[in-house]
A = this chain, B = another copy of it.
Amino acid sequence: MNLTDYLAPRGANHVPLTPLDSLRRSVQLHAEKPAVIHGERRLSYAELGDLIGRMASALRKQGVGAGDVVSVMAANRPEMLALHFAVPMIGAVLNTINTRLDADAIGYIFEHASPRAIVCDQAFAATAKEAHKRAGSNAPLILCDHGAKAEGGLLSLSDLVAGETAEEISLNEVKDEWQAICLNYTSGTTGRPKGVVYHHRGAYLNSLGNVLSLGFDQRSTYLWILPMFHCNGWQHPFAVTAAGGTHVCLAEVDPGEIFSEIERCQVTHMCCAPVVLYMLLNHPDRARRDATRRVRVGTGGASPTTALIEGMDALGFDLVHLYGLTESYGPATICAPSEDQAFADAGEKARYLSRQGVRHPLVSEIEIVDEGGAPVAPDGETLGEIVLRSNTLMAGYYRNPEATEEAFSNGYFRTGDLAVRHPDGCLEIKDRAKDIIISGGENISSLEVENVLHQHPAVLIAAVVGVPHPKWGETPCACIELKPGVEAPPEEEIIAFAREHLAHFKAPRRVVFCDLPKTATGKIQKFELRQRVMTGGE
C-alpha cells in the first residue's frame, strides 16, 4: 500500500505542527481563564491572544516579515511570553538573548543574526543601544516594558500595540513545520556563541513532552523563575499554554519573592537551576512554606546533590531532574520517581534522583556510546558519550555548517557529556567531557567530589576544577562558597572530610573559599573558575 497520489498529504489532513496551534486552542477553550499574572497585572487567555495579535500586527508594520529575526532582551514579563507567539505568528524567528551578556557579546549576536527588529526592556536599553551601534545594525529598537514611553530613539511596544487591531491567530504563516521558530545562542564558553536554530515541529513536540513529563493541565500554575531567554524557558511558554495553565511571571530571581508568589498564586510547578534551590533552602522565609502543598520543580543545568534533594523534599518541593542542552530544546532526559517506587529512606530517593534518568517523552533515542560509537555496557561503570536522535533536536547552527556537521556526526547528535548507563536503564552523567579531571591517568568526576563536599555543614555550593600538577598532570581543586554567616573552616578539614568519603586520589589537594561565578542560568562557570584559580585571582 503506497500513500501516494490521492492518498498523499493534503491541506485538510496534514497541518504543520506548531505551538501556535496550542495557543489558538487555549484562547478558544479557556478564554476567561487567567493566562498570565505579573504582580497585580492579570491577562486572561482572551486578553493574551489579543495582545499577541496586536503585537504581530505592530511588528509587521515595523517591516518584520517571514524568515526575519527579531531579537529580544527581556525579563520574564507578559510581553516576553507574548513575543514567543507574536513573532512566529508572522513567520519570523524569535531570538531571545541572555540579558546578562555585555554589549560586546550582544553586538556579536546582532551582527551574526542580523535582526530586523530589536525589542528590549528599559533596564537593558543602554546595552542594547551600544550593541546595536557596534553591530552597525539599522533595525528599530523597541522598548517592551508595559506602559513604557518612546525615548532616546527607541520606540514603545505599548504604544505601537495600542494602535493596532489584533490579527487572528492563524497558522497561515507557518508554511512548513520545518520552519525556523527560534534562534538561541549558546553561552559560548569555548569560543564565539553558536546560533541554535529551532523549528516549529521540534518546539511543538518538546512542549507536548513537557506537558506529559511535568503533568501540566488546566489547573496548573507555573512560576517563571527560569529565564525565558534560556532555550525559550525549556519550551514552557509553549507547554503551559498548550495545557491551558497559568503563567506567573517573576522578573527577578529573589527567594523571598518566590516563597510569597508560591502562596499568593497557588503555584503548582516551577523550574530553576539548583543554585536557586540552594537559595531557597537557606532563606529565612522557608519557615513560611506550607510543605503539605507540594510544588513540582523541574531542575537541571547542574546535577542536584543529595543534600539539596533531601532538603527540598522536606520543604514541600517534589524534584524532577531534567537534563538537556540548548540544542535539544531543553529537556532530553527525565528522572522522576514513580509513585509506586519504594525507597529505603530519603537518602536513597535522593541518590536515585541525582541521576539524569531516562529519555524524555517524545525523545526517540538516547544512547551512551564508546569512542567507536557502540553502546556501552549498562553496568553503571563504563563511561561513554551521550548521543541523541530526536525530533526535538535543532535544525543546526545558523550560518555554521562545519559546527553543525561535527555535532551531527554518525547519525546522532553528540552532546559532549560523559555518562554511564545503570542496569535499570537510567543514565548518570559523570561530567562534561571538558570538566573531567585526569589525575595520574585516572578519571576524576568533579561531580562526584562536589557531591561529597555538599555534605559538609559549612558548604553552600562547591565546584571542583582540575589544576595542573607536575607529577599527576592534574589534581582537583575545590572552590567553595560558604553558607551565609558561616566561618571558613581550615582547608585541612575540608580535605580530610573529602578523604573520608572518597578514594584519596579524588580528594581535592587545594581548597579555595570564594563566591562562585555563575552564568545567567545559574550554572557555575568552571571555565572562569579554572582561570581564576590558576592565576591566583580568587
Residues A413 and B199 in contact, CB atoms below 8 Å apart: no
**Known A-B contacts A394-B13, A413-B13; A197 and B3 likewise in contact (beta carbons under 8 Å):** yes
A340 to B218, CA, bound (A): 10
Chain B CB within 8 A of A471 CB: no
Complex partner residue of A6 from B8, B10, B93, B396, CB under 8 angstroms:
B396
A7 to B215, CA, bound (A): 32
Most buried by B among A13, A21, A412: A13
A395 partner residues in chain B, CB cutoff 8 A: 3, 7-9, 13
A230 to B219, CA, bound (A): 33
Give the bracket for the number of chain A residues in contact with chain B: 35 or more
Determine the main DSSP class of A at the interface with B: loop
Residues B15 and A389 in contact, CB atoms below 8 Å apart: yes
A12 to B1, CA, bound (A): 27
Smallest CB separation, A20 vs chain B (Å): 10
Residues A15 and B199 in contact, CB atoms below 8 Å apart: no
Smallest CB separation, A81 vs chain B (Å): 21
Closest B residue, CB atoms, query A403:
B6
**Known A-B contacts A3-B179, A217-B215; A13 and B408 likewise in contact (beta carbons under 8 Å):** yes
Residues B93 and A1 in contact, CB atoms below 8 Å apart: yes
Complex partner residue of A389 from B11, B202, B364, B396, CB under 8 angstroms:
B11
Residues B389 and A9 in contact, CB atoms below 8 Å apart: no
A472 to B413, CA, bound (A): 71
A31 partner residues in chain B, CB cutoff 8 A: 425
What per-residue 1/0 map shows which CB atoms of A382-397 lie under 8 Å from chain B?
0000001111011110
Residues A390 and B1 in contact, CB atoms below 8 Å apart: no
What per-residue 1/0 map shows which CB atoms of A327-362 lie under 8 Å from chain B?
000000000001110000000000000000011010
Chain B CB within 8 A of A14 CB: yes
What per-residue 1/0 map shows which CB atoms of A207-238 lie under 8 Å from chain B?
01001100101110000000000000000000
Chain B CB within 8 A of A178 CB: yes
Complex partner residue of A219 from B339, B393, B425, CB under 8 angstroms:
B339
The residues in A between 130 and 154 inclusive whose CB is less than 8 angstroms from any CB of B are none
What per-residue 1/0 map shows which CB atoms of A91-129 lie under 8 Å from chain B?
001000000000000000000000000000000000000
Closest B residue, CB atoms, query A215:
B217
The residues in A between 48 and 73 inclusive whose CB is less than 8 angstroms from any CB of B are 67-69
A215 to B8, CA, bound (A): 32
A25 partner residues in chain B, CB cutoff 8 A: 359, 361
**Known A-B contacts A12-B388, A15-B389, A69-B1; A338 and B404 likewise in contact (beta carbons under 8 Å):** no
Smallest CB separation, A231 vs chain B (Å): 16
Chain B CB within 8 A of A292 CB: no
Provide a sorted-by-A list of 23 A–B residue pairs whose CB atoms are within 8 angstroms. A2-B67, A3-B178, A3-B395, A6-B396, A6-B404, A6-B405, A7-B197, A8-B395, A11-B411, A12-B413, A13-B202, A13-B394, A13-B395, A13-B408, A15-B364, A15-B389, A28-B359, A31-B425, A208-B208, A208-B212, A215-B217, A219-B339, A219-B340
